[in-house]
Structure 1
Amino acid sequence: MPPNDVSTGAGTGSVTEAAAETATSPAVESVTADRSDGQDTLDLRLPDELIALLAATGEEGEDRVHGERGGTGTTTPTRDLTPPLTVAPPVDDLLDNVGGWGPVTTAVGVFQLVPVRVERDLALISRWMNDPAVAAFWELAGPEAVTEAHLRGQLEGDGRSVPCLGVLEGTPMSYWEIYRADLDALARHYPARPHDTGVHLLIGGVADRGRGLGTSLLRAVADLVLDHRAACARVIAEPDLRNTPSVSAFLSAGFRFAAEVDLPDKRAALMVRDRALRAVL
């Protein structure tokens, strides 16, 4: 199981884990703490959609808490990255047709999430996963078959996680996983709400890190989620608390530091982008 730490390239930060200065702040909420407004109180009732999924598959669900880290590797533009917009989303699409969200203009250029196609994208993503700085966190180094298994686990699953290339100005330069946090194993570790949507990010090239790209793209992707998923009130992320640059990038992108969460492989910072606060953060 890859750890869940985002490296977004905020400021001058690196992918190396650093001690999180905010971890001891009294403003940080514990997920076990009671709150008078009841907003984030723990509710362990399984979402209705998850119950339906389990009934349909006869399984107990996948323990997938994916990681996200910045990687390296030279990126080369590939052809035919934009999916046909005439293809209707599946009736049971749990993420409202990520591939049809289309491009968006950001402060750093035109950006689009393009769902991964293994035959087209495996070599590039595997190269990123084999960068030592990435491999330490994602644990997907090795032959292409290792990365392929990780991708196919999502592509051939029930649709609760969609792996994507992040294409900036026509060049694939990042890897993303857009997932249903409320249907993920992560939901066992924080007070999930229906349709919470999670984001994992890996910046592919060294040249693309440390200059604020991560912050700009995180804000753009969170906005895409909120624009295209009307039922989603929050975008969620869980970078490692020790990764100060990553936490800083999320804060700069309009996320708030909601709590510290103990996950199986790390102590994470629960980052939340609220639809209700979208205009002011």
Structure 2
Amino acid sequence: MPPTDASTDASTDADTTPVADQGEPAAPPENPDCQDTLDLRLPDELLALIVEQDGSGSADGTDSGHRSTPAFTGATQHDLLDDVGEWGPVTTPSGVFQLVPARIERDLKLISRWMNDPAVAAFWELAGPETVTAEHLRPQLDGDGRSVPCLGVLDGRPMSYWEIYRADLDPLARHYPARPHDTGIHLLIGGVANRGRGLGTTLLKTVADLVLDHRPPCARVIAEPDIRNTPSVSAFLSAGFRFSAEVDLPDKRAALMVRDRALRTVL
């Protein structure tokens, strides 16, 4: 679990997109996909990783080559998230959006600049020289593919930073009733001009839909924004997530947000 907040509009101004009534959904059908019950069976991927680490240690991954052109492509190495870089672009009400896996050589300067924005740093706690951001990115890029850091590219421009991760294989799973293939998301909006106008809500819904479309075994998309980050929590609610619980994590008290596949067309 990255020591970060799943921040959307990380400024103190609330998202101006109207928030739907957050009362109880009207008699949703009973479905095991939307029940927060504990599944004690270890995911197959986790069992395989345990065997691999016991036998041969972790693999050494490397970064892709430097791209000097402004074009962004989605070519990636294999991951445990059904190849995020191959999910492709989608059309949203705000423009054409695509998740592009991050590369140190190409993207470090930009992501570090975003992390040093005071409104972002208040929740992500990664302000400082570029080495701070690099040390946060590298374990994900060199890891086993359970977390994929990405740029969010809107109409050809990088404007947000995302982490798509296997919540069931993350330390977060110790703090809530995780189920196999639960997929988590972290988000920050990079530019001040893109905050506070509902864009976070639009993109959260878009990315949650991408997860559910491209990861058939995943029944739930999970997020855990800092409970103090009201704009972020509001954006998740407006994007069809439901508030499940408050959870005490090592670095924050979080609002556990869940978007259920079974309720995808209801909320």
Alpha-carbon deviation of 1:103?
A: 0.4
Gap regions ≥5 residues in structure 1: 15-24, 28-36, 62-76
Over the residues paired in the alignment, what is the CA RMSD in angstroms?
Answer: 2.7
Please report the TM-score for the alignment, with normalisation by the length of structure 1: 0.79
Gap regions ≥5 residues in structure 2: 16-21, 25-31, 58-67
Provide the residue aligned with 2:50 in structure 1. Answer: 54
Kept in 2, the 8 Å contact 1:9–1:203? The answer is yes
Provide the residue aligned with 2:35 in structure 1. Answer: 39
**2:83 paired with 1:82:** no
Kept in 2, the 8 Å contact 1:10–1:215? The answer is no
Output one character per residue of 1:228-267: Cα deviation in whole Å (capped at 9) or x when no partner: 0011111000011122211110010010111111111111
Kept in 2, the 8 Å contact 1:9–1:208? The answer is no
Kept in 2, the 8 Å contact 1:9–1:213? The answer is no
Provide the residue aligned with 2:107 in structure 1. Answer: 121
Provide the residue aligned with 1:95 in structure 2. Answer: 81
Kept in 2, the 8 Å contact 1:2–1:140? The answer is no
Output one character per residue of 1:60-84: Cα deviation in whole Å (capped at 9) or x when no partner: x9xxxxxxxxxxxxxxx96131135
Alpha-carbon deviation of 1:12?
A: 4.3
How many matched pairs?
242
Kept in 2, the 8 Å contact 1:9–1:249? The answer is no
Output one character per residue of 1:1-57: Cα deviation in whole Å (capped at 9) or x when no partner: 62334233699417xxxxxxxxxx997xxxxxxxxx893233455433212212212
After superposition, where does 1:77-226 map in structure 2 within 5 Å?
79-84=70-75, 90=78, 93-226=79-212
Do the aligned partners of residues 215 and 78 (structure 1) sit closer, same or farther apart at CA in structure 2, a change above 3 Å counting?
Answer: farther
Please report the TM-score for the alignment, with normalisation by the length of structure 2: 0.83
- Tell me the distance in 1 between the aligned counterparts of 2:69 and 2:264: 34
Q: 1:228 aligns with which of 187, 209, 214?
A: 214
Percentage of pairs with the same residue: 76
- Tell me the distance in 2 between the aligned counterparts of 1:205 and 1:227: 28
Q: 2:137 is aligned with what amino acid?
A: L
